[in-house]
Amino acid sequence: MTQQLIAVDANALASLQDELTEIKRLLMSSKISPPAKWITVAEYAQKVGKSEATVRRWIRDGQLERKQKLVKNPDA
C-alpha cells in the first residue's frame, strides 16, 4: 500500500487535537449510570419544557405517576 501525503492547515490540526484531548478528558472523568427512576417536579418540568404548575396539574389529574414528592423520570 502506498502512502499518500496531504496538506493540512497546522492551526486547524492543532485545534482538532485540542478538541479531541478535551473530549477524551470528559469521557475519562464521566461515570455512566442509569438515569434516576424518580425526579423532582422541577427537574421533570425542565426536562419536558413545561412549568412546574403544569406538571403538578398533570399529577392531580392522574397523568403522571407520583411517589412521595417525586415523579417518574421520562428518561428512566
- In degrees rounded to 5, what are phi and psi of residue 14? -65, -40
Question: What confidence tens digit (pLDDT) does each residue in 11-33 have?
Answer: 999 999 999 999 999 998 888 78
Who wins on pLDDT, 3 or 31? 3
E strand intervals along the chain: 38-40, 66-67, 70-72
User: 38 near 9, Cβ under 8 Å?
Assistant: no
Question: What confidence tens digit (pLDDT) does each residue in 21-70 have?
Answer: 999 999 988 887 888 899 999 999 999 999 999 999 999 999 999 998 89
- pTM higher than 0.85, yes or no? no
pLDDT at 76 over 90: no
For the chain, give every domain's residue range: 38-72
